[in-house]
Amino acid sequence: MQEDKEAIFNSVDTVKLCLPIFTNMLDTMKIKKANLYNAAKGGFTNATDMADYLVKKGIPFRDSHAITGHMVAYCIEKNKSIEELNLDELHTFSDIIEKDVYDAISLETCVKERKVAGGPARESVLASIGSGRLFLESLSTH
C-alpha cells in the first residue's frame, strides 16, 4: 500500500528544488513586449476568434471551423498570420468577411474578450492573482 507514496514524495522534492530557481528567474527576467506579441501572432491565437467572427455573421460553427482551418493552412503555406491576410485573400475563404474582421481578430481583442477564469483578460488575471494571494495567506496562518 506504500508504493503510490514514493511518486508523490519525489514530485514534492522536485517542486521544492525548482521553486528557488523559478524565483530567481522571475526576479531577473526582462519582458520584451515585441517578442511576446510576435510569438502570439505566429501561433494562430486568433483562429478561434476568426471562427467566432464567421459564426456571428451567420455561418454554422462546423463550417466556420473548416473555413478557418483552410485559412490557417494557407497562412502556414504563405508564412503569414491571419491578420496579415488582405481582404481579397480573406474573400477566397468567405465572401461574408468584411473590413471589421481586423478588429475582431486583433490580438488585443483576443486577450480582452477572454474574461473567463484563467483567461488572459486583465480582469481574469487580476482575479487569479487575488485568489493566489488569498491562498498564500491562508497557508501562512496555519
Tell me, yes or no, whether 85 and 117 share the same domain. no
Task: Kindly state whether residue 44 falls inside one of the protein's structural domains.
Answer: yes
pLDDT value at 112 more than 70: yes
pLDDT value at 43 more than 90: no
Cβ partners under 8 Å of residue 27, min gap 6: none
Tell me, yes or no, whether 110 and 84 share the same domain. no
Report the range of poorest mean pLDDT among 45-49, 63-67, 90-94.
Answer: 45-49
pLDDT in the model for residue 142? 65
Average pLDDT over the chain, rounded to an integer: 92
The rounded distance, in Å, linking the Cα atoms of 81 and 138 is 44
Contact between 55 and 61 under an 8 Å Cβ cutoff? The reply is yes
Tell me, yes or no, whether 112 and 95 share the same domain. no
Task: Kindly state whether residue 19 falls inside one of the protein's structural domains.
Answer: no
Task: Kindly state whether residue 32 falls inside one of the protein's structural domains.
Answer: no
Model confidence, pTM: 0.70
For residues 1-20, average pLDDT:
88
What's the CATH code of the domain at 63? 1.10.40.30
For residues 117-126, average pLDDT:
92
Tell me, yes or no, whether 87 and 113 share the same domain. no
Tell me, yes or no, whether 93 and 46 share the same domain. yes
Task: Kindly state whether residue 26 falls inside one of the protein's structural domains.
Answer: no
Task: Kindly state whether residue 18 falls inside one of the protein's structural domains.
Answer: no
Which residue type, as a one-letter code, is found at position 126? Answer: L
Task: Kindly state whether residue 16 falls inside one of the protein's structural domains.
Answer: no
Structural domain for 45, as ranges: 39-99
Tell me, yes or no, whether 88 and 121 share the same domain. no
pLDDT in the model for residue 1? 65
Contact between 115 and 127 under an 8 Å Cβ cutoff? The reply is no
The rounded distance, in Å, linking the Cα atoms of 32 and 37 is 9
pLDDT value at 2 more than 80: no
What is the domain count for the chain? 2
Task: Kindly state whether residue 71 falls inside one of the protein's structural domains.
Answer: yes
The rounded distance, in Å, linking the Cα atoms of 47 and 66 is 11
Sign of CA dihedral 39, 45, 46, 51: positive
Tell me, yes or no, whether 92 and 140 share the same domain. no
Tell me, yes or no, whether 43 and 95 share the same domain. yes
